[in-house]
Amino acid sequence: MIYRCKVCGYIYKDGKEPLECPICQNTNCFEVISEDKINYEFFKESWSRQVKWMNSTKYQNEIMLNPDETVLKTLAEAEGNFLKSGKQAYCPCRLLTNNQLADKKIICPCYFYMGEVELQGHCHCSLYLVKK
């Protein structure tokens, strides 16, 4: 099953609903998403939810989604392919190690993105940017 957090848009594939969202730490916050809903609009909505959540909690700088639709479509397709092949919605710009615990850190939004956005003004994929 594919689950998405109603609060922050985090996407997770698992046999049962995760107990707690690893990003926003809410519980009982997941909705089930059927596989035929996995498309560009789905990812854009999920990422927008993430941006909204981040701006309400984490950052001093306001962040935004990359306005370049070509970048977003490429990322959505790559993450969608991961999900459709039974994997997590991994960051397509990072290498998988095939170690489940290590790879958990690169499920989008990856473990590193917050630091990257603060330091460089964008995450590794340029999905999330600081609003100038």
- In the complex, the residues that contact Zn ion under the rule CB under 5 A are 5, 7-8, 10, 21, 23-24
CB of 14 to Zn ion, least distance (A): 14
CB of 25 to Zn ion, least distance (A): 7
CB of 27 to Zn ion, least distance (A): 10
- Shorter beta-carbon distance to Zn ion: residue 9 or 80: 9
- Shorter beta-carbon distance to Zn ion: residue 58 or 71: 58
- Shorter beta-carbon distance to Zn ion: residue 24 or 108: 24
Report CA dihedral (12, 51, 130, 22) to the nearest 10 degrees.
Answer: -40
- Shorter beta-carbon distance to Zn ion: residue 46 or 76: 46
